[in-house]
Structure formats: structure tokens, C-alpha cells
Amino acid sequence: MAPRPNLSDIARALGVSSATVSNALSGKGRVSAQLSRQIAEKAKELGYVPSLAGRALSTGRSHVLGLVLADIGHPLFPQFAQAIEQAATRAGYGVLIGDSRGDVKTQTAAIDQLIERGADGIILVPRHGTRIAEINSPVAVIDTPSTPGNTVSADHWQGGRLIGAHLRDLGHTRLAIIGLHQDSNVQADRIGGIRTGFGPEGSVRTLWIDALEAAAGPGCELGLAELVRHGYTAFAAVSDIHALRAVSELQRSGLSVPAHVTVTGFDDLHWARSISPALTTVRMDMERIARLAVADLLLQIEPDRIAPPVDEAARPQAVPMELIVRSSSASPHGNLFPSQDNNNTDPDTLPSREGTNNA
């Protein structure tokens, strides 16, 4: 296979200098319109493809962005990656991935690695506890507005408000929020938002899966049916995953969603629309977040770039989330357990623990 043509091949074929070819192709120096056209033609004819390595060496810019995620295993990662890849490609950048395998130390290592590989900047979706300041390179952080150093992210709090208000508007008064663990800014924001949106009248409590599992083992029952008996008509999970688990558990308890109980999620994961009942949830505008993050990075990398389109100019830190009402939420009518503390339910309707999962 023939080695790929380079600048001088074109130059030689046209009897000009390679600098002229470079100028013509990049539109930088002074080249007559006609020569410029000829060069462009010849380049296409020869199938010229600029060597990024050569360019990188010469300019000091690789046109590659590093994407580091706290945990590649996170179900939201695909959406992130896709959106970032798209935004980067549009800006003429490639995306190099790094994985921190959930570990903060590995994360730093991953970032260093990407920088060594020549990444011009890093997009970081951090694990809680990262010291962003230590990074010696342009960085855009996607976390949550309340985190210091956050560059751009979904407005998790506002998303929570959307959910809270939705539930209140449906007429729910007792709400249980399902969270994973306490030390996550994102979750804290979401929960804060839910509480705010739900309003001060209703009564709200929060369940921490972490704590429950620490006691009863991973995958254990969350005891939601019990809460329903105590008058809780709505469960707002801090992630679709937990919502799914909740729906699942409730249905196994003989409760129907949303006829008996309402369940909502967060993030609109891939399958949220295809389970039944389809999940009411809240979605981030990944596209927008990705575009903003990349735009911010480019601004750091090449400050004198062509001004970004107006719509980006605003560059809000917090991108609004969107409520997606599907069929897992409804008014709390026809509740199976209208009176509180009704413990004498038909055991057939509320089978206890049958089929708990222990692989």
C-alpha cells in the first residue's frame, strides 16, 4: 500500500513550495485564489490527509480531548460519551477516554495519563472528593451546580423541584424519597429540590438504600409496602435504577403502579420508557451540557477561537432538566390502604419475601 501523501507531495506535483500548500489548505498565509483552488484539487486528487501527529508536534495542540468518568460503569455514561463525542467532533476534536474505575487515586492517574497522551483538555465527570485544582491542564467539570469548581451540569435541584411539584400537583401528601447514600452532591441536590418542589405542607422522609443494604444485605427489600401501609402514596427515587427497584418491589407486593402507588425516577435511562409502567422521570439535556462543556474547554485552550454561536454565549452553569411524565405517576386515588396502620391485609395480596434475590 502506498504511503499516504504529504504536503510536499502536493507541493512537488504542483511545483510550489510546501509552505504555500500549507497556507492554502489552512487559509492562513497569502495565496492567490487560483493557486489555492489548484492546491485544493490536487490534495483531493491525491487523497491527502493531514498528519495530525505532524501538526500536533508543530503547534503543540493535539486536538484531542480527554474524557474522564468517575465510573465508566455508570448507566448514564453512554449518553455522556455520545454527547461529548458529538460535541467534540463538531469542534474538530477527538475524544480519548480514561477510566478511573471508581477510585479517586486512579482517577488522578487517568487524568495524568490523558495529559501525557497529549490531550489538550480534560472533561471530567468526577467522583466525589476529587481535587480539581491539582489538574495542570484545562478542565471542564460536569458535576452539579453546588459543587465548587463545577463548570456546567444539569440543574439537579431544579429537576428535583420538577418532580416534587409534579407529585404535589397530583395530590400526594406523603412522600418517601429513595436515595443511595448521603455523601453525593448530586443526590443531595436532587433531594433538596424534591423537598422544595413538594412544598412544606406534605410530609417527606428519605430512605437510604445504602443503610438498608448495610443491614439486610445487597438487593434486600426496601420495605416499601410497609411505608404504603403508613400512608405513603409516592416514592421519588433519585435515579431510575432505584425507581425500577421500587416499582419491582411494590408490584411484587401486589401493589399496582400507578393505580395504588406513584413512583418516579431520575435521569431517563435508556429503558425507562420501555418498562411497564413507563417511568415518570426527569432528564438532563446532555447535548447542551456536552456542548457547553466542550465550548468552555475550547475557550480555555484556544481563547481566540471564532466566537461561539449566540445560543451558547449565555453559558449558564446549570442546564435545566426536563420533566417526563409517563405512566408511573398518578393521583393517589383508590389507594389499596386508605387508612394508615392497616396491617391486616390479605397475605396473598402481599406475599412476603417470596423470591427475594440471592444469586
Nearer to a second copy, 39 or 257 (CB): 257
Q: Output b/e per residue, 142-172; b: 16+ Cβ within 10 A.
A: bbbbebeebbbbbbbbbbbbbbbbbbbebeb
SS3 353: coil
Q: How many CB atoms lie within 10 A of CB 227?
A: 18
Binding letters toward DNA, positions 31-70, x by CB under 7 A? xx-xxx-----------x-xx-xxx-xxxx----------
Distances (CA, A) of 234 to 104, 224, 341: 36, 10, 16
Residue 291 binding partner per list DNA, a second copy, none, with a CB distance cut-off of 5 to 8 Å that depends on partner kind? none
Which of 2, 30, 116, 133 binds DNA (CB under 7 A)? It is: 30
Nearer to DNA, 59 or 357 (CB): 59
Partner that binds at residue 273, options DNA, a second copy, none, CB closer than 5 to 8 Å by kind: a second copy
Closer CB to a second copy, residue 2 or residue 306? 2
Q: At what angle do helices 77-90 and 286-301 cross, to 10 degrees?
A: 50
Q: Give the CA diameter of the chain.
A: 95
Q: Verify binding: residue 20, DNA, rule CB under 7 A.
A: yes
State the distance between the two ends of the chain, measured CA to CA, in whole angstroms: 54
Q: Which of residues 314-343 bind DNA (CB under 7 A)?
A: none
Q: Does 136 bind DNA (CB under 7 A)?
A: no
- Rounded to a whole number of angstroms, the minimum distance from the CB of residue 324 to DNA is 45
3-class state of residue 268 by DSSP:
coil
CA 293 to CA 295: how far, in whole Å?
A: 5
Give least dist CB 59 to DNA, A.
Answer: 5
- 182 contributes a contact to DNA by CB under 7 A: no
Q: Which residues bind DNA (CB under 7 A)?
A: 3-4, 6-8, 15-20, 22-23, 25-26, 28-32, 34-36, 48, 50-51, 53-55, 57-60
